[in-house]
Amino acid sequence: MEKLIVDYTAIAVNTGGRKGHVRTEDGLLDFDVTMPKEIGGEGGKTNPEQLFAAGYASCFGGTLAATAGKTSLRDSEIKAKVHLGHYGPDSFGLAVDIEVKIPHADSLEHAQKLADLAHEHCVYSKATRGNIEVTVKAVE
């Protein structure tokens, strides 16, 4: 594997785990996190899955912009759905569905080709490839 040449490092610090607090070293993010009600938490605050979905959607959108060529991305949307589940009583995992809406693509097939190209190059997609199930689908 090639050695990564680091251009930027984001640093976040958590205390208290899923029922705790997270902040970035630069202070731009600084908030409590909790478990969702659906898995026994109190809800009402963000959680790691939402943060992962936000990061993935944003990164994927940036990659789409870099790879879309002359296709207008005006009014486009990337929706990342991060699913937390389990394989057994003590084995948890994630899966991601990414829905890509590109209203100005020539066709839904063209939008799917652009989404597939972004998925090939997105660093979140690269990081998760072979580790979790990720599906990418162009939608109208």
Q: Are residues 55 and 40 part of one domain?
A: no
Q: Are residues 93 and 78 part of one domain?
A: yes
Q: Are residues 53 and 121 part of one domain?
A: yes
Which range marks the domain in which residue 42 is found? 1-46
Whether the pLDDT of residue 116 is over 90: the answer is: yes
Contact 114, 108 (CB under 8 A): no
Question: What confidence tens digit (pLDDT) does each residue in 50-97 have?
Answer: 999 999 999 999 999 999 999 999 999 999 999 999 998 889 999 999
Contact 82, 52 (CB under 8 A): yes
pLDDT attached to residue 108: 98
- Both tokens of 52, joined, read 């992962």
pTM: 0.95
Q: What's the pLDDT band for 1 if we cut at 50, 70, 90?
A: confident
The radius of gyration of the chain's CA atoms, rounded to the nearest angstrom, is: 17
Q: Are residues 113 and 66 part of one domain?
A: yes
Last residue of a domain, one of 46, 64, 79: 46
Q: Are residues 100 and 51 part of one domain?
A: yes
